[in-house]
Amino acid sequence: MFRCFVVAALLVSTAAFAGDPPAAQAATEESGTSLDKAATIELGEIAATQIGLFFATGIAKQEFDAPVLAQYDRASKKVMIMIFGSRSNVEGARKSMDDFFKVFGSFAKAFLEKQRGIRLTDSNTTVVYFTRSGYGESAQLKEVLRREGGKFITP
């Protein structure tokens, strides 16, 4: 199951860089897309990609056991970090988010600031804790808790 989240993280990260391709770059099945074209990305996209990879493959994976994905929303100019855990009540989700923030603060935020010059704060990040309800085809993600603007919010 964790492997699915890693693949999803890579797809989300890749999608962040894709943007809307110009009509002139339309690929044919035979030639594919020319990969030597310049693309503009924003620092939030770099941060989201680094966070996703950090929690999927780095030391954070050993310190925090729930799958984490991150994406950048250009409209809100925020990095949204999504935690996919098994706790379905607010108290459990809050404990998991507190554990996440310990790891995030000591590793990911420090790395992004020192190595990339990207400073993440409560004003430019949103963290959402999801749990799964149901199984198989009826499985759905349910938001349990969100931290936005430095405050915890229940849906």
pLDDT in tens, 110-128: 889 999 999 999 999 999 9
CB 21 within 8 A of CB 90: no
Indicate whether 20 pLDDT > 90: no
CB 93 within 8 A of CB 131: yes
pLDDT digits 0-9 by tens, 30-74: 778 888 888 899 999 999 999 998 888 867 777 888 899 999 999
- Quote the DSSP letter at residue 72: E
The amino acid sitting at 6 is: V
The amino acid sitting at 1 is: M
Q: Return the minimum-mean-pLDDT range out of 22-36, 90-104, 117-131.
A: 22-36
User: Which residue stretches of 19-144 are H helix?
Assistant: 43-57, 59-63, 90-103, 109-111
Indicate whether 25 pLDDT > 90: no
Cα–Cα dist 60/83, whole Å? 13
Quick one: 23 exposed, middle or buried, by C-beta within 10 A (0-12, 13-18, 19+)?
exposed
